[in-house]
Amino acid sequence: MKSDQMIGLAQPQETHAYVRPVLDRLLGPVKGNWTTESVRASAEAFFAGRETLLVGKGATSHVKLWVFKLLHQVHLGLDLTDDELLAFSTFQASNLILIGVPEGVVSNTVVRAALSIETTLEQRQQYVDTYKAALQKFLPVETAALTPAQLNILASNVLDSLCFAGGQSVQTVITQTLTLLYSARGQAMLATARPNTAAPASTATSDSAAPFFDLRASDVPVFVMETIRRFPPVSVFVYSERSPPTRTFLSLQMAQRDPAAWGDDADRFVMRSLATYHQLSVGWADKAIVDGDNGAPNSRVCPGKQLSFVMICEFLNAFLRASGADAGAPLPEHAWIVDFDPKVKTRVVDWTGYGLSTSFVLRRNAS
Ligand code: HEM
């Protein structure tokens, strides 16, 4: 596959070398086009007057739409309308299918027609063209240094960052945190979330009744870190050698649950200290950074690491405030009623060892 046809994460080093500094300029912790305050204001606006919250897989998921809105502002300086956001979310779902199609069958005309591959590719190119123009306006100096072919690849990478790298992982983690809080199994797992809490007689994978978990604003950073450790949204990191050409797939999921690193309770949801996560976590490919420089051509650590952490934390902080948990008070048990949207087909909680995914609606409890 040519580099402009594959997703950015797997691109060759020659391409990565000029894309990476631009990604750092857009997303990075120092130069990035965001601040904690701007993310907080976005989350606050999202919850203002909100009566329902659609969570999960469907294109209409409110969580997804918020993530796409903020990431378009950060990547491109674009403020999408509600209709444009829904169109992007619908496109993202079909674009996501493409990366799951095995290379051996991708040229099969029946498969191509069944999956509407041509339509998705056409839409993809339309987004790339729009993003090229937006990037030229947003970053005139950086883009002037690129050839037209390089600009095309950069815009394609930004699309992948919006669709897959950032767009998929952030909404997945937010969905996981809310699934933990609003499902019986999640609540059972959270019974041992605070360190040194004795494990209940039943295992944490059963649907046993447990007291509602008293999540507080002070827990949010470690609650998010533990969710990313226990249910990593990005499963592998590909390590490439040029000579001899080899590719090694490192399982981040297994590393995040390695008892040799995390201890005997590696399989349980236990909020550890922030220092422990900073030392041991590899969920963002944290160690793949050259001389501590996020924008270095050879750095492969997630360039959106700090941004994604702030987004998820600020979303949950705004959720707590919108639920009446101000000034350090715990999340009230009955602030929201859990419901299912008839338009959202997936109701089953998928409790694989490494992931939990579900779709549901939280409706504000008027009583
Ligand atoms: C909890 C959320 C996130 C996690 C766990 C995560 C994790 C990762 C990991 C493990 C990689 C390395 C993958 C590889 O090279 O094989 C990666 C790369 C990347 N991530 Fe993230 N990510 C998250 C959120 C984000 C966000 C919000 C953005 C954009 C705003 C983003 C943009 C990227 C990009 C563009 C790359 C490719 C970087 C490169 O190849 O140099 N990620 N991410």
Residue 58 CA to ligand 1 center (angstroms) comes to 22
Answering whether pTM is above 0.75, one says yes
State the pLDDT confidence band at 41, using cuts at 50, 70 and 90.
very high
Per-residue pLDDT tens digits for 285-337: 999 999 999 999 999 999 999 999 999 999 999 999 999 998 889 999 999 99
**Which residues have CB under 8 Å from 165's CB, separation 6+?**
8, 9, 302, 304
Q: Is residue 89 within 8 Å of residue 64, measured between CB atoms?
A: yes
Question: Tell me: domain 8-364, CATH 1.10.1840.10, correct?
Answer: no
CA-nearest residue for atom 21, ligand 1, is 302
Asked if 314 and 39 touch (Cβ cutoff 8 Å), the reply is yes
Question: pLDDT band at residue 205, thresholds of 50, 70 and 90?
Answer: very low
Asked if pLDDT for residue 346 goes beyond 70, the answer is: no
Nearest CA, atom 25, ligand 1:
166
Q: What are phi and psi of 351, to 5 degrees?
A: -105, 70
**Rounded CA gap, 361 and 367, in Å?**
17
Amino acid 3: pLDDT:
36
pLDDT at 200: 55
CA–CA gap between residue 329 and residue 339 (Å, rounded): 25
Tell me which amino acid residue 337 is. I
* Ligand 1 touching residue 284 (CB < 6 A): yes
In sequence order, which ranges of 207-324 are alpha helices (DSSP H)? Answer: 220-230, 252-255, 259-262, 274-280, 305-322
Taking the domains of the chain in order of start, what are their residue ranges? 8-364
Query: How many other CB atoms are found less than 10 A from the CB of residue 193?
Result: 21
pLDDT at 147: 96
- Which atom of ligand 1 approaches the CA of 169 most closely? 2
**pLDDT tens, position by position, 115-170:** 677 888 899 999 999 999 999 999 999 999 999 999 999 999 999 999 988 889 99
Report percent pLDDT > 70 for the chain: 85
Q: Are strands 360-364 and 52-55 parallel, antiparallel or unpaired?
A: antiparallel
